Amino acid sequence: MPEDNIYQKLQHIHAQVKYIQKSQKATQYSYAGSSDVLGQIHGLMDDEKLLLLPTIMNHHLESAANRKGSMTYFTELDMVMTWINTENPDEKLECPWYAQGVDIAGEKGVGKALTYGEKYFLLKFFNIATDNLDPDSFQQNVDSQKQPEPISSTQKKTLIDLFESMAGVTQTPVVKVQSGYLKRAKTNSIDKLTSYNANGLIQLVTKQLNEQTEKVGQ
């Protein structure tokens, strides 16, 4: 089977990290710290052979004195967060990003901005929810509000046809082709696919079938 591309690898992480509990306490609120976010995602990035490279493109620093005369430093960073597929280093995804940090000592503004920026980039890129509930309660709450739409008969027929076509082009038993793709979708039966996952699988198999057909034609 062809290796997953960078978008598929990122989708695998997106599917696995849906929620991060707020474990850090401030004076008046709780929040998810950088260690909470990285702790959830770092291992998944390693599994998918992905690196995230932060690059500072521009910066701006402002300073002002507060009422007590102490200086406060406000650092702004224009950044590019670049995903790199280490299995194919030429395959990259660049995402413009912005970060800021406030410091009273003067030397930690950039570090705070980088830490803040990385945390929120990951939270927003993967659409991760944060909440005070424990993970199980949160997921039960989400599941109770929405029921995934099951695979349609049209989608099922399309997938079966695609599996048979891929089997013919690659000279691979159709059972093996089907089980391989269903494993990627984390299921062992085509009937257990949701409509959303089925649509994603249709796009993936169609793309890879076209690639395999071109190779055979060469």
Residue range 164-217, pLDDT digits in tens: 999 998 999 999 999 999 998 889 999 999 988 999 999 999 999 898 888 766
Task: Measure the N-to-C terminal CA separation of the chain; round to a whole number of Å.
Answer: 19
pLDDT of residue 129: 78
Reading across the β-sheet that carries 50-65, which strands appear in turn?
50-65, 71-85, 92-103
pLDDT of residue 146: 56
Which residues are 131's β-sheet partners?
A: 21
Question: What is the percentage of the chain residues whose pLDDT exceeds 70?
Answer: 82
Residue range 139-171, pLDDT digits in tens: 454 454 556 789 999 999 999 999 999 999 899
User: 184 — phi, psi (to 5°)?
Assistant: -65, -35
Lookup: tokens for 104: 């009273």
The helix, strand and coil proportions of the chain, stated in percent and rounded to the nearest 5, come to: 50, 25, 25
E strand segments, the chain:
19-21, 24-25, 30-31, 50-65, 71-85, 92-103, 129-131
When the pLDDT of each residue in the chain is averaged and rounded to a whole number, the result is 83
pLDDT tops 60 at residue 37: yes
Residue range 46-91, pLDDT digits in tens: 999 999 999 999 999 888 877 777 788 888 999 999 999 999 999 9
- Token pair 């995934």 in the structure block, residue: 148
pLDDT of residue 27: 47
